[in-house]
Amino acid sequence: TGYQNTANGANALYSNTTGSGNIANGSYSLYNNITGNENIAIGYGAFYNGDAYSNSTAIGYNTSINASNQIRLGNSSVTSIGGQVGWTTLSDMRFKKDVKENVPGLDFIMKLKPVTYYLDMDAIAKFTNTPDSLRLKDAEALKGKMLQTGFIAQDVEKAASDCDLNLAAWTLLKMKMITMDYDMLNL
């Protein structure tokens, strides 16, 4: 049996059996967790799906996680996450080893294909198994009408592969959504 869990809200940590060290704050948060450990879910329906992920955090209404060791802020209807400064990443030379100047910067950049697109909110909801009762139809309609600019993760992966460049810019998980960290493209 799981231990050292905290659940606050109707059906929070509802399916948990052996998962330990979890915090679920909000109705239906961490609802399907069974064996996952050290997770945090804050918000109604936060981290609803996922039965065995660990060390992940979901903050906000119906925020989804699709692997262990992730942090997600907000659901697919969120239109902005920000603050007065940008995100920071450890870059201190004292904590790096095997440093080499071997990045094919310009070759890689020339292979990138920037695109504009609209998010298919129905496809996202279907892929994440979001029940209609948890969908924010008005917010999704607004988000679905916003013209986005960026890259297609699969195209970036191919460009990197063509240049023999191993980037940590995306998370490829079998049968999972592909995500991409645009900050990792700073060459």
The pLDDT tens digits for 56-109 are 999 999 999 988 999 999 998 888 888 777 777 777 888 888 988 887 888 888
7's tokens: 């659940």
Backbone phi, psi, residue 107, to 5°: -60, -45
The model's pTM: 0.73
Q: What is the pLDDT of residues 104-140, one digit of tens each?
A: 888 888 999 999 999 999 998 888 888 898 888 888 8
**86-93: Cβ within 8 A, 24+ apart:** 87/183, 89/183
pLDDT of 185 > 70? The answer is no
